[in-house]
Amino acid sequence: MLYDRTLSAGAYQRWLRLMGVRYVFLPVHAQLDPSAKAEAALLRSGHSGLREITISKNFRAFELPGATPMLTLGAARPDTPALAGTASVLRETREQFWLSLPQAGTYLLRVHYSPYWRVDDPAAACVEPGPHGMTQLRVVDPGPLRLRIDVNARTMLNVVGGARSGCAFPPAAPPS
């Protein structure tokens, strides 16, 4: 969808929401990859539907109004609004996310799934593939949670050997 030669504002905004993107940065002088040319042209046109929030000598920054949060509770699809609850990403690094998960249920984290994602307490929550290749968490014991990438010889052998990834316990009851 994003790499079409002609990119509409509507399609672009849907893709950004699907990915949980709020901010887009466009370099001013850097050579762009050919796959980014349609996106850059749409942003430069002023018709993307994004609000330009800053310009510097090196980049232009845009914000998507009403962006979909990176972490939501109970969304059946990644581009639908979440149910009530204040799930949030407290902190993130390249290898870890610290999450606030206020109630039991299924959460969608708009980060590409990897079979190497692990939670610190597998009895409280589990991680599995979600819609559109994103990461889904099933939570039975709400509260703070750390999600981390765990790549080592054991996890690599499990993944290569076809060990089942995902949740071992039944899905959490939906919030009432």
Domain count for the chain, please give it.
Answer: 2
pLDDT of residue 22: 95
Helix (H), strand (E) at residue 159:
helix 153-160
Q: Which of 72, 68, 78, 70 is nearest to 175 (CA)?
A: 72
- Within a domain: 86: yes
pLDDT of residue 4: 57
Provide the residue range defining the domain that includes 115.
Answer: 71-160
Q: What is the mean pLDDT of residues 149-165?
A: 60
pLDDT-derived band at 7 (thresholds 50, 70, 90) equals confident
φ, ψ of residue 61 in degrees (nearest 5): -115, 140
- Within a domain: 166: no
Task: Identify whether residues 76 and 145 lie together within a single domain.
Answer: yes
Share of the chain above pLDDT 90, in %: 62
pLDDT, tens digit (0-9, with 9 covering 90-100), for 28-66 = 999 999 888 999 999 999 999 999 998 899 999 999 999
Task: Identify whether residues 140 and 101 lie together within a single domain.
Answer: yes
162: Cβ contacts below 8 Å, ≥ 6 apart: none
Task: Identify whether residues 80 and 152 lie together within a single domain.
Answer: yes
Q: How far apart are CA 123 and CA 172, in angstroms?
A: 12
Task: Identify whether residues 83 and 152 lie together within a single domain.
Answer: yes
Share of the chain above pLDDT 70, in %: 77
Task: Identify whether residues 47 and 95 lie together within a single domain.
Answer: no
- Within a domain: 37: yes
Q: Which of 68, 129, 71 is nearest to 99 (CA)?
A: 71
Amino acid at 166: G
Q: How many CB atoms lie within 10 A of CB 77?
A: 11
pLDDT, tens digit (0-9, with 9 covering 90-100), for 122-147 = 999 999 999 999 999 999 999 999 99
- Within a domain: 3: no
Summary mean pLDDT of the chain: 83
Task: Identify whether residues 54 and 99 lie together within a single domain.
Answer: no
